[in-house]
Structure formats: C-alpha cells, structure tokens
Amino acid sequence: MTRVATVGEALATLDVGRLDSPVEVGLAGAELNTAVGLARLGVPVSWSSRVADDAFGAQVRDALHREGIDAQHVLSAPAEKTGLIVTSRLDEHTVRSEHYRSGSAASRLSPATVDPARQTRMLDGASLLHLTGITPALGDGPRALVGELVALARTRGIAVSFDVNHRPQLVDADGMRAIVDEVIDAVDTLFCNEVEAELLTGENDPGLALRALAARGPRVVVVKLGRRGAIALVDGLTLGTGVWPVPLPTFPVGAGDSFNAAWIALQLEGVGPAIALPLSAWVAAQVVAHPGDHEGFPARVAFDAVLRELESGTTRAPELGGPADALGDATVDGPTTRDVVDGHPAGGDATVETITETEEVAR
C-alpha cells in the first residue's frame, strides 16, 4: 500500500555533452526524482501524472516499473508529448540547460483531467502527500489540481510536504509567493533554499526566515543553504548541518529532490532531526557525484550504514558552513544560476559549476 503519494511532471533529458560526445538519454522531474529516492529506500510510493504515448513516455513507464513505484494513477495522453530538457557542457565549469514544456502532457494536468474520484484514489492509504512549486507553476490547470489535492489531504488527515522549487522562467516572484500562500496553511513540512526563504519572508537572514516560515503553520521547515549546509526548525528546535565533500566532477542536478526523499523517509521511520538532517545532506552529496537527476541515489544498505555511523557517533555530521555544496539550487529572479562548490582535497581550491537555464512553456 502506498505510504507517500506524489504528483508532478516527468521530463526526458538529453545530455548532449559536447558536440563530439554521444547523446545520453535520461529522465527528470522534481516529484519523480523524490519518488525514485523513496522507492530505493524501501518506502511504498506512488507517482501520478499525465504521460504521453511517445517514446519518452514509454521510458517513463519503464522507469516507474523498474524502480518499483506505484504508477496505477498515471494517465495516458496519446495526442500530447513528453516535456524535454536538453543539457550541454559548455566547458568544465558550465552546463547549459534548456527546458521545453509547451504542450506537454503534464502541463495539462487539471481537475478536469484528474477528477475528484481519481484524486481520492490517488491518496488512498497514503500518510503523506509530497508536492513542489513546479507543478502549480506549469499553468492554471496544474495549479488548481494542486490546490484540490492539498485540501483533500488536509480533510483526510494526510500530512503534506512541499518544496518551493521556484523556477523564475515559469513564474515570477509574486506568482511564487501567491502559490505558497495558497497551500502553506496545510503544509506540515516546507522545503526551500535561502533565496526562496527570503523571497517568501523578506528576511535575508536564513535563521529569521526559518522562524518566519514556521510561524505561518508548517511544523517542520528546512532551508538549504547551498555550500554552507542546511538548517531546520522542527517543533521549535533549530538544527544545522554542513555538507559532505563531493569528489570531482560533480553533476549538480537532483540534489534537492534527493535530500527531500531522505528526509521524508527518515521522518516516516521516526528518526530524529539531528540525524535526519546530516544524513539527508549525505544522500544529496551522493547524487551530485553521479550523472543524472537520481542515478546516484544510494542503495538502502549504504544509507543504513551511514545512519548507524551517525547514530553511534563513529561518523560526525559535518559542521554548518563546510566547503562543499550538495544541497541544491540557488535561484534568482530572471535567468537561474546554480552554484555548486565541489569537495576538494585539503589545501586545494573549490571548483564552481554554474548552470544556466531557459524555459519554454505554454502559459
């Protein structure tokens, strides 16, 4: 039976590398990445969306089956297409990412395509619904569906986790604030980065922003601080962690989604935040050490080994403000840049990777 329900988009990824490199095909999508992580940790999870009947849509279905994700509520969209991300490495420090979502199957999610009866079935058996700000930013239909699912979850006593995941090419700052305003009263766990925290609160001090967000209702707020680590406020208790060293080269995608998966799994298992925070950061570090959005997500056996080491004290959590960044994006209004500072040998220089993104989507 499903323990965590997720709803969102799937995107095909084409990594063209350099012009003389072979093209690599993969899959992405914030909620999908988190679902993959949860499944690998043994958490029963469902992922719901609309998927095209094209070649990329077939890959999505194959991946869901391979990862053991419940896909019974995935709807077919024969006349539509799968969204696409094309990435290319411009030099050793810079990756260009172009998104093509206009007319995609997932961009046409709505209460009309996912009726109330299906919404109810999607949440059957779930103890938590995980969503991100990307889905409601895709358009009015997806936004209305997210609102209905959050309201339904609240009515049924199902916890809600929400990652702000602001994409300025999809929605501006005012629009993002409005999206969060619509759901935050029903959110139990809120994830964001420090730029998003300031966008939502006006506070440029992450600690003050953390408390301001918690005052709006969420029991748990996690703010990811990039190269400095992450902080969390859980039932009034504030905690922090640094980041784990990441070997070169890094692939700075999927880190935030994988962090969320680990945190959610540990919450469901009753692991305290003092362990959950650094362990979630460790998972994110493993993901950015491998190509792809979720390919580097660790197996449960490796995850449990680090969990035991943290619990026993044989491994200490990194201190807040460490030298590596494995916790996801820093977004700004306008073109998005994500700076990832890699782990490096003692005495070496950190390397910064910048990702530039463009979006194309039907509004």
Per-residue pLDDT at 77: 95
* 262 has pLDDT over 90: yes
Structure confidence by residue, pLDDT tens digits, 73-118 = 999 999 899 999 988 877 655 667 888 988 899 999 999 999 999 9
Per-residue pLDDT at 16: 80
Listed as own residue / partner, the contacts of 38-41 with beta carbons closer than 8 Å and 24 or more positions apart are 38/4, 38/261, 38/264, 38/265, 39/67, 39/68, 39/69, 40/67, 40/297, 40/298, 40/299, 40/300, 41/261, 41/262, 41/265, 41/300, 41/303
* 250 has pLDDT over 80: no
**Class in CATH terms, 4-8+115-360:** alpha beta
Per-residue pLDDT at 237: 94
Per-residue pLDDT at 2: 77
CA-nearest of 255, 252, 244 to 323 is 244
Per-residue pLDDT at 346: 24
Percent of all residues in the chain with a pLDDT value above 70, rounded to a whole number: 81
Residues written for the chain? 363
**Residue 291 pLDDT grade (very low, low, confident, very high; cuts 50, 70, 90):** low
* 252 has pLDDT over 80: no
Confirm whether 257 is a catalytic residue.
yes
Per-residue pLDDT at 290: 63
Per-residue pLDDT at 58: 95
**What residue spans define the domains of the chain?**
4-8+115-360
Centre a 10 Å sphere on the Cβ of residue 333 and count the other Cβ atoms it contains: 12
Per-residue pLDDT at 331: 28
* 126 has pLDDT over 90: yes
| Active-site choice (15, 257, 325, 329) | 257
Average pLDDT over residues 205-225: 97
Give dist(CA 130, CA 85) in Å, integer.
23
Half-sphere exposure of 185 (CA within 13 A, CB side): 7
37 secondary structure, DSSP code: H
Is residue 130 left, alpha or beta, with left meaning phi > 0 and alpha meaning psi from -120 to 50?
beta
318 secondary structure, DSSP code: P
* 334 has pLDDT over 50: no
* 329 has pLDDT over 80: no
Structure confidence by residue, pLDDT tens digits, 11-31 = 999 888 765 667 778 888 999
* 337 has pLDDT over 50: no
Q: Alpha helix (H) ranges present in the chain?
A: 30-40, 55-67, 116-123, 134-137, 140-155, 173-183, 194-201, 206-214, 255-268, 273-288, 300-312
β partners of residue 91:
94
Token output for 60? 């999505």
* Structure-model confidence comparison of residues 274 and 361, the more confident one: 274
Per-residue pLDDT at 248: 64
Per-residue pLDDT at 254: 74
